[in-house]
Structure 1
Amino acid sequence: MKGKELIKKAYEAILNHDFELAIECFDQAIAMEPDNASYHYRLSITYARSNKLSKALEHAAQAIQLDPEEEHFHYHLQHLKAKEIILNAENYIDESGEQTWLAIALLKQAVALDSLSSEAYLLLGIAYSQVNEYNLAIQAIRELLKLDPHHETGIELLEQFRNKLKQYMQS
Structure 2
Amino acid sequence: MSNYFERARLLFEQRRFDLAVRELQQGLAIEPDNASYHRLLALCFSQQNKPNDAIAEIDHAISLDPNHGGGHYIKAGILRDQGNLKAARSTIAEALRLDPEDTDSYSRLAAIQFDQKQVKESLATAETGLQINPEHLGCMNLRVLSLTELGQLPKAESEVLVALAIAPENPFAHAVHGWISFRQNRISAALDSFKTALRLKPDLEWARQGLVESLKARNGIYRFILGVDRFRVGMFKGPRLLLLAIPQIRALYWLMYLMVVATRPFFTVLLSFDSYGRLTLTPTEIKKSRWVAGIILFVIFMFLLPILASSR
Tell me if both proteins adopt one fold, taking TM over 0.5 as the criterion: yes
Shift of 1:72: 3.0
Aligned partner letter, 1:36: N
Q: Does 1:122 align with 2:114?
A: yes
List aligned pairs for 1:40-119, cutoff 5 A. 40-84=38-82, 86-87=83-84, 107-114=85-92, 116-119=108-111
Q: Are positions 1:149 and 2:221 aligned together?
A: no
Stretch deviating more after TM superposition (23-32 or 63-72): 63-72
- Give the counterpart of 2:9 among 3, 6, 11: 11
Structure 1 residues without counterparts, runs of 5 or longer: 88-106, 126-139
d(CA) in 2 for partners of 1:162 and 1:19? 44
- 8 Å CA contact 1:83–1:110 kept in 2: the answer is no
| TM-score of the pair, normalised by structure 1 | 0.60
Question: What one-letter code is carried by the residue in structure 1 that aligns with 2:121?
Answer: E
Q: Which has the higher contact order (CA 8 A, sep 6+)?
A: 1
- Aligned residue number for residue 237 of structure 2: 165
Q: Unmatched 5+ residue regions in structure 2?
A: 94-107, 127-141, 152-229, 245-312
Let me know the Cα RMSD of the aligned residues.
Answer: 3.0
Cα distance in structure 1, aligned partners of 2:51 and 2:242: 42
- Cα deviations across residues 33-60 of structure 1 (Å, max 9, x unaligned)? 2121221112112223333222121111
Contact 1:111 1:120 in 2 (8 A): yes
CA contact (8 A) 2:76 2:87 kept: no
Q: 2 CA distance for matches of 1:13 and 1:23?
A: 9
* Structure 1 range deviating more: 34-43 or 60-69: 60-69
Percent identity at matched positions?
24
Task: Tell me the matched-pair count.
Answer: 133
Contact persistence 2:79–2:87 (CA under 8 A): no
Aligned mate of 2:30, from 32, 45, 49: 32
Distance 2:72 2:89 in 1: 16
Q: Which residue of 2 aligns with 1:128?
A: none
The CA deviation at 1:18 is: 0.9
> 1:6·1:25 contact (CA, 8 Å) conserved in 2?
yes
Q: Secondary structure at the match of 1:20?
A: helix
Which position in structure 1 is the counterpart of 2:20? 22
Cα distance 1:17–1:65, how it changes in 2: closer, same or farther (>3 A)? Answer: same
**Is the Cα contact below 8 Å between 2:75 and 2:88 reproduced in 1?**
no
Question: What is the CA–CA distance in structure 2 between the aligned matches of 1:76 and 1:11, rounded to whole Å?
Answer: 15
Residue identity matched to 1:13: L
Quickly say closer, same or farther: Cα 1:83–1:34, change in 2 above 3 A. same
What is the CA–CA distance in structure 1 between the aligned matches of 2:44 and 2:16, rounded to whole Å?
A: 10
Bigger radius of gyration? 2
Counterpart AA for 1:144: S
SS in 1 for 2:26: helix
